[in-house]
Structure 1
């Protein structure tokens, strides 16, 4: 596939020496850039109990970003549904779609977006069961559609406002398990290769083969998310890889202590276990000069048989982050 549509996943990561306000202000600049570059959609994530990420509430951040743009689709990547009241999610996104018609995506995840204790505090009734999650999905579709099957809770309670068009509903998956829900309920699917570099091709094939059309989506629709960094300066590429590889390890180790400088990371000695983990994590990102990055993006598009790739680019410099997205936009 030579023509690839690019979208953005923004986790509002906080750089060294910066703070949450600056990270969120940068999100405002980035979505304006994404619209200028002609990108398809812009998603923000839900994370909890992690000091390097400012994005805890997509439903709050989305209207701030939408107010800065006029065309690009904006949504959640995603709302971690077990953390929330299904009715409230339907109300929030019905309201967002009413305010910004035909521009809102409701990306839904099943992971806690943090640790189990945080998830419990967000929703003490959360059982982490597939059965309960599936019921939430059924209820969410019914609330958004304004349906009221006999004997259902929707006979007595409705979600308002009810928008003229529904938000696009996307199921997020990294393990592949949620692909069965997306296929059965006729939702779009987003595979997070930036979390799991394995099993994505099989997940995409399963989803397409088992997809059942819904009122909103007649054919399967899939995109894939990846971390990526592009620069014409090969030293910047190598520095980004060094910094980013440690950032992933830091997150996996629980984010204890201050995040070290790049020079400190370069002088570190890693255990065999850490080196093995870094080798695995290499499949979660693409980094290189424009020719290298374009070739790798085309491989991903062919592997998943998709024309849309969602790119997350954390960087310690706004100018480097901006330039990376500009270079990628020029590729397609």
Structure 2
């Protein structure tokens, strides 16, 4: 693994920083995508979240179209489309249109989670049963819509429009081992969300690789790992950003989302013993540090997972620190 060149990608959640608007958050995502392309990043994914004012990305397919129009070569995709919130036909048509507009540049990353609370999810799709079998059926339908095939039934009478000469690259996202089985069975890429769950990921990736079945879209397994990353030459800035992210994680666990706070808001906050233990556990979800520290730890993480692609999720108080972190990261792994 030490001889393998690590590819870098971005998973951006369009964070709405303290004192800025959602419009500005989307502008920052756009600027970041353009910078990522200049810096040689491999792909740029955007997320689907609902009912949270601190993250502006609610409709990845719309944002993907915008970002693809503002870049030229960077792969743009979803990280991910929360499939139970949508019909398979609607997802197929959205991503077929994206693929027609930007051939061989679109990634369709999908997840089982709703990207929100259960009440909001039930409003997004009132027929959602949270059934594993329904999810598998959606994946099967999506495959047929994207390839103009059918296994019979009413789906055989329906075409996903527009007809596309190419197919978006399909990935399943997971923070557990369960979707590794689905990814392997359907011959899709597999992305493990270490930034959500830092436990069991290497085993999930290994299971996916060992059970992968070649598909029309993918002859061999491809995988990546996403985690929270922040890099700065300023050690004090690293400590502050780590403290901010730790605070946000605690609020998220309490059902309060990822609040847009600054260092001055949280620098004097005291924590209970249980909260300190949770902060310690959450630090496994992120790698923050100076360039030397970052390179060593990320190289080790890639080796532990046996992958050659890492996706960075970076949320900072100031946008310039977010950009600078990605610049330093690219420089480290030239």
Using structure 1 for the length normalisation, give the TM-score: 0.97
Correspondence for 1:77: 79
Correspondence for 1:315: 316
1:161, distance to aligned residue in structure 2 (A):
1.0
1:272, distance to aligned residue in structure 2 (A):
1.8
Correspondence for 2:96: 94
Identify which of 45, 56, 61 aligns with 1:59: 61
1:138-186 superposed Cα distances (whole Å, 9 cap, x missing partner):
000100011023x233321110112111100000000121111001110
Correspondence for 1:182: 183
1:169 aligns with 2:170: yes
Correspondence for 1:276: 277
What count of residue pairs does the alignment treat as equivalent? 331
Conservation of the 8 A alpha-carbon contact between 2:92 and 2:145:
yes
Identify which of 22, 25, 28 aligns with 1:26: 28
Distance 1:18 1:74, change over 3 A: same
Counterparts of 1:317-332 in structure 2, within 5 Å, are: 317-332=318-333
1:99, distance to aligned residue in structure 2 (A):
0.3
Using structure 2 for the length normalisation, give the TM-score: 0.97
Counterparts of 1:1-332 in structure 2, within 5 Å, are: 1-2=2-3, 3-149=5-151, 151-255=152-256, 259-332=260-333
1:263, distance to aligned residue in structure 2 (A):
2.6
Structure 1 consecutive aligned stretches of length 4 or more whose deviation exceeds 6 Å: none
Mapped partners of 1:127, 1:280: distance in 2: 32
1:201, distance to aligned residue in structure 2 (A):
0.9
Distance 1:259 1:161, change over 3 A: closer
1:91-137 superposed Cα distances (whole Å, 9 cap, x missing partner):
00000000000000000000010100111000000000100000000
1:256, distance to aligned residue in structure 2 (A):
7.3
Mapped partners of 1:261, 1:309: distance in 2: 27
Distance 1:259 1:222, change over 3 A: closer
Conservation of the 8 A alpha-carbon contact between 1:97 and 1:167:
yes
Mapped partners of 1:92, 1:46: distance in 2: 14
Gaps (5+ residues) in structure 1? Answer: none
Q: Residue 76 of structure 1: SS of its match in structure 2?
A: strand
Q: Residue 178 of structure 1: SS of its match in structure 2?
A: helix
